[in-house]
Amino acid sequence: MTDRQSKADEPEIVVDPVERAKLEARNALEQFDAVMSLVEQFTEPEHPPFRLRSSIILQLQRIALKGLSAYAGVFRPAGVDIGGSKHKPVDAFLVPSRLEELCDYITDNWFKTTNSPDRLRSMAIELDSSVH
């Protein structure tokens, strides 16, 4: 009898710079399509009110990074540096909770700030950058 062992598959990552650029462009187009599908889904008459959830963010992150990063669709497991920036994103273990806070902030302010969507957008970008 052999020992039972799980072995996770490794995702295939594109390394050729030209192919990576093509894939990044394609992923971004598919990400736009995914966002439009979400908008259609959430604006159906009988659909419950929109709530931004970390699962939605991870779904969109997976589309953006598929074939480019081993962490497509999951939280990063370690620290990250942003080249050319002095900004230091939060430690990896804080990412899930900070992302939940970001989602709650956006959901809670969604209807309060419909007359100033640029302010909500700015806050979301600021919070997103700090988590990264």
Partner 1 sequence: MSDELEKLLEAARYRPLTPSEQEEQRRSFAFGNANIENVRVTRETVDEQAEELKEKQ
Binding to partner 1 (CB under 8 A): which residues in 63-82? 64
Look up residue 113 and give its two tokens: 């700030």
Q: Are 86 and 26 in contact (CB under 8 A)?
A: no
28 binds partner 1 (CB under 8 A): yes
Between 28 and 94, name the residue whose CB sits nearer to partner 1. 28
Residue closer to partner 1 by CB (options 64, 90) is: 64
Under the criterion CB under 8 A, does residue 104 sit at the interface with partner 1? no
Nearer to partner 1, 68 or 100 (CB): 68
**Could you tell me the sign of the dihedral formed by the alpha carbons of 35, 89, 70, 105, in that order?**
negative
Least distance to partner 1, CB of residue 90, Å: 20
- Figure out which of the listed residues 85, 97, 116, 129 binds partner 1, where binding follows CB under 8 A: 116
CA distances from 32 to 58, 61, 65, 73 (A): 14, 12, 13, 16
What b/e string do you get for 61-84 counting C-beta neighbours within 10 Å, with b at 16 or more?
Answer: bbbbbbebeeebeeeeeeeeeeee
Residue 125 in contact with partner 1, rule: CB under 8 A: no
Integer Cα distance of 132 and 127 in angstroms:
9
Choose, by CB under 8 A, the member of 33, 81, 91, 126 that binds partner 1: 33
In the complex, which residues of this chain contact partner 1 (CB under 8 A)? Answer: 17-18, 20-22, 24-33, 64, 116-118
